[in-house]
Amino acid sequence: MTDAATRKAISGSAIAGNGTSGQATSGSAASGAIPDRALVQAATALITGSASAAAAWRKAGAPSAAAFNRALTERYGLGAAALAGARQRRSVRLAYGGPYDAPMTLRYLGRDPHNQAEVVQGRRYSRFITLDKRPLPVTLTLAARTCTLEFPARLRAGEILRLIDTTGHMLGLRQPVAAFQRTAEQHDVLRPIVQAMPGVRMIQTPNLWEALSWAIIGQQINLAFAYKLRNRLIFLGNGHDAPAPRPLPFPTPGQVLGLTPDALKQAQFSRQKIAYLLELARQFETDGLAALSLDTAAPEEIEARLLSIKGLGRWSVAYGMMRGLGHLDALPVGDAGLRQALRARFNLEAVPDPETQERLMAPFRPYRGLATYYLWKSLDPANFG
């Protein structure tokens, strides 16, 4: 992969398979005085072995080796030494960058024990991450302070960096936990929730396609049936007519477009869900969404583009921006869990209407999406009494 292609891959949007966050760091925001392009090139040189750590930090223009390592850790969750041996080891160990509740993350990832695309066994989480329509099997082992990412042999340096980026996105490693906690400290309702769950991060999907697909599948049905439909989509998209050995790759937009409406109907998808899902797949497959630069576009522009797609309403779009792009201020007004949590935490007599939800969540800007995630978690007595 060329330097230009690597840079584009790393900083590209998390649309249908490259997995970086819509709020991913860019320029010098994550790396102090080191431009992001230079940091990516230096990281690539470390992985390929074409430069020593000393040569890499000088080439990147870092003022010191310590500054270079800090920039790498902020950007990727690991330093120069870990990157240097990554391809040979076929693994890297990522730092969480602050408090991290690994057990809660694993419970969330394993909430559907029959999930065809994601498998949790103890501290290990396995799934496929798709890069350029090529599914790659990965395993994450979540320990108390770090997460180990294992990946296949013979990957290019750019692919390894993209897997590292996607993992950081999925686990919420770049989320501004300290800033959010300072916001929460100012609010009597949110403060005790955050204090009870200091290591919670918003767990995200690898890309926007997967998040929006799940949003459409879950519309107007209970969670148990939504799980069944998602699993049926996964094994149908992989060419199976019954559950297969797990995990399977989450189907790409092209694979979903290859399914007939009759096959989806037999899998108990409603006519409306079939139409919405196929239209969403067409938008991704024909570059209808890829033409929008999700890294640089304003949230309002992204929201407007997504709302123009038939089948995506205000809740679905906010959910996709939260879970697929990492937009931490996206607010899923109308969400059943949010309504329930607001009623309980604010001691309301009735479920709040959309206007009231907006008003109650306004103090949590610019982290209303992250606050929503904490409110969801507060509904589970195991997390918050």
* Confidence tier at 1 by pLDDT (50, 70, 90): very low
One domain, residues 153 and 248: no
Residue with tokens 């999406």: 369
Domain that holds residue 318: 208-378
User: What integer pLDDT is reported at residue 218 of this predicted model?
Assistant: 93
One domain, residues 158 and 213: no
Closest CA to 190 of 349, 354, 371: 371
One domain, residues 136 and 232: no
SS3 content of the chain, % helix, strand, coil (to 5): 50, 10, 40
288 belongs to a structural domain: yes
166 belongs to a structural domain: yes
- Last-in-domain residue among 121, 156, 174: 174
- Last-in-domain residue among 126, 158, 174: 174
SS3 129: strand
One domain, residues 48 and 131: yes
One domain, residues 329 and 212: yes
Rounded to whole angstroms, how far apart are CA atoms 234 and 177? 33
197 belongs to a structural domain: no
273-283 average pLDDT score: 96
359 belongs to a structural domain: yes
195 belongs to a structural domain: no
* pLDDT above 70: percentage of residues in the chain: 89
One domain, residues 83 and 215: no
354 belongs to a structural domain: yes
One domain, residues 141 and 242: no
One domain, residues 33 and 77: yes
One domain, residues 219 and 145: no
CATH number, position 286? 1.10.340.30
One domain, residues 149 and 232: no
Predicted confidence (pLDDT) per residue in 226-262, tens digit: 999 999 999 999 998 777 789 999 999 999 999 999 9
199 belongs to a structural domain: no
One domain, residues 129 and 275: no
Total tally of structural domains belonging to the chain: 2
* Confidence tier at 27 by pLDDT (50, 70, 90): very low
323-352 average pLDDT score: 95
254 belongs to a structural domain: yes
Task: Name, in order, each residue with C-beta under 8 angstroms of 192's C-beta and a sequence gap of 6 or more.
Answer: none
- Which parts of 96-155 are beta strand (E)? 119-121, 124-131, 134-142, 146-150
Rounded to whole angstroms, how far apart are CA atoms 346 and 1? 53
Predicted confidence (pLDDT) per residue in 139-195, tens digit: 999 999 999 999 999 999 999 999 999 999 999 999 998 999 999 999 999 999 999
User: What integer pLDDT is reported at residue 7 of this predicted model?
Assistant: 35
One domain, residues 170 and 216: no
Q: Judge whether residue 277 has pLDDT over 80.
A: yes
User: What integer pLDDT is reported at residue 385 of this predicted model?
Assistant: 52
- Last-in-domain residue among 151, 174, 197: 174
* Confidence tier at 4 by pLDDT (50, 70, 90): very low
Angle at 377 between CA 172 and CA 384, to 5 degrees: 125
CA within 13 Å, CB half, 82: 21
Mean pLDDT of the chain: 88
